[in-house]
Amino acid sequence: MRAAVQRLVLGGLAGKLLGMLREVLLAAAYGTGIPATATRVAQTGTLVPVDFFTADVLTAGFLPLHKELLSTDPARAATLFHGLRTALWVLSGILTVGLLVFARPAVDLLAPGLDAGAASASAEFLRVMAVGIPSYLQFSLLSYLEISHDGFRLSSARATAQNLGMLASLGLAWLLHRPVVLAGGFAAAYLVLHAWGYASVRRRGFLPPVSGVGGRELRGRLWRRLRPLLLLPLVLQGSVVTERIVASLLGDQVVAAVDYARFVASTGVNLLAVPLGLAGLAALSGLDTAVARERLAGILPGLLLVVAPVSVVLAVGSSQVVEVLYARGAFDAGAVATSASVLTGFGLGFWAQSCAYVLVKALNAANENTVAAGSLLAGLVVTLAVNVSLHALLGPVTLGLAASAGAVVTAAVAAHVLGVSRTLWRWVGACVPVALVAWGACAWAPARGWPGLVAVGGCVLAVFAVAVLVLAPWRRVVLALVR
């Protein structure tokens, strides 16, 4: 298990580093212009229908059922795999043809605010990306087949290979002066991954012979597993689509700016909260409820003291962060201002996004998967409502604030179910005045680039360090973290 976790962590880290390089180079090459906007819209148009129909089918349906059958009834496990494989071929064919034929109406639905040039480019990009849907779905199924056999090679390589494909296509698009080549990176990466994944699972004997045993009974069992989760993908993909619609109504460049800002926030969550969440999942699984609650209550204060300063830096120093990462080449002052505005919204709720991740993982560890889905669902509904109701009033910052508000609700619901609400809100309440002092102390910081970012980070760190020295409970938490 340790080797598997290490493989996944290293693969994820490599993928994240390549993803950062991809975002930086995309920003330098195209800023928040039409090619960047078309890439974002085409990705949404490709992945929303795919994930709507298949995400829970594979994670909550196929994987646990196939794992169970593999040890008790291999013939039925083979039937499940081949039946789903055929269904995915049919679905991917329908989706691919549909997007090839109706690319422009799909773009008009996803991003009604785009001007004619951006909408035409997005439709062209979408047609190219749609070619990769069959391989995307088949590789996903093969990855879960491998996981069912306790293998993680395909899963760990996915992000790295996808980002390598996008980087290669970005280089070609720049050299050939043909931005649409950008869209080919997604399709090419998954065509290669599909071929490699199929050869890999076949070579290791994971690919089962075709079997027709118990197909109807297996469909019933799969349906019973998926039925409680049907509302989640609907709201999740609805929230994604709503965000794209709102972004396009705020301006073409906002569509690209949202993803530049989100990448910064999600990278922070991945680096800080994900390791703790995975460790907590392992540590809390199988524990008595009272013991698990006590351990989780011990995790939250340390997590908050780590992520609260980062939240302040992202909110106060959003312009400096965006300038340091992206402000070169085609990424002009307008792109900086728009991306920084969105990042401010994400930053205000970064602490909540991190806590929500850990708390949802704790629910998973307690086998409260339906409640975990409910907490995510509640957060998504709030995100959708904030985006729809406030974008005209607040502008681009709404997109970040909506995600933050949703994370607060998800964290609140999960903490209540786990019995750690009092701990969570007591420590959030303790961090708020310190964060406000840090915010005020940053007023003298330089306004631009590295000097500004270093100054903001130093101010925030100094204020929180003083709080640790002055407040005994904070000292105890920090000492426990460094031991």
Query: Encoding tokens for residue 143?
Result: 């990855």
Separation between Cα atoms, residue 180 and residue 167, nearest integer Å: 13
CA angle 177, 179, 182 (to 5 degrees): 125
Contacts of residue 401, defined as CB under 8 A and 6 or more positions apart, other chains included, come to: 345, 348, 349, 386, 390, 394
Q: What is the reported pTM?
A: 0.90
What are the angstrom distances between the C-alpha of 326 and each of 32, 310, 395? 11, 19, 21
- In order, the DSSP letters of 282-323 are HHHTT--HHHHHHHHHHHHHHHHHHHHHHHHHHHHTHHHHHH
The answer to whether the beta carbons of residues 455 and 425 sit under 8 Å apart is no
CB 291 within 8 A of CB 414: no
The Cα 18–Cα 31 span in angstroms is 18
Q: Please give the single-letter amino acid code of residue 3.
A: A
Alpha-carbon distances of 165 from 29, 161, 378, rounded to whole Å: 16, 6, 35
Determine the pLDDT at residue 83: 92
pLDDT for the residue numbered 7: 58
Do 444 and 406 touch, CB atoms closer than 8 A? no
Structure tokens at 39: 């890439």
- Residue 423 CA to residue 296 CA, distance in Å, equals 9
Residues 132 and 340: their CA atoms lie apart, in Å, by: 32
Tell me what percent of the chain is helix, strand and coil, each rounded to the nearest 5: 90, 0, 10
DSSP result, 192-220: HHHHHHHHHHHHTT-SPPP--TTHHHHHH
Is 28 exposed, middle or buried (CB count within 10 Å of its CB: 0-12, 13-18, 19+)?
middle
What is the spatial distance between Cα 28 and Cα 330, in angstroms, rounded to a whole number?
5
Helix (H), strand (E) counts: the chain: 21, 0
Confidence at residue 15, expressed as pLDDT on a 0 to 100 scale: 80
Q: What is the mean pLDDT of each run of 10 residues along the chain (483 residues)?
A: 53 80 96 96 96 81 88 91 94 97 97 96 98 97 92 88 95 96 96 97 93 78 79 87 96 95 90 66 66 87 94 96 96 96 97 93 80 92 96 97 98 96 97 96 82 94 96 93 76
Tell me the three state secondary structure of residue 230. coil
pLDDT of residue 275: 66
Alpha helices (H) along 317-448: 318-326, 333-348, 350-365, 369-394, 397-418, 421-441
Determine the distance from the C-alpha atom of residue 82 to the mean position of all C-alpha atoms in its chain, rounded to a whole number: 29
- The angle formed by the CA atoms of residues 315, 166 and 30, to the nearest 5 degrees, is 60
Length of the chain: 483
Q: Which pLDDT value is given to residue 5?
A: 47
| Nearest residue to 210 (alpha-carbon basis) of 69, 93, 80 | 80
The three-class DSSP label of residue 28 is: helix
Cα distances (Å, whole numbers) of residue 247 to 83, 109, 332, 341 = 39, 13, 19, 13
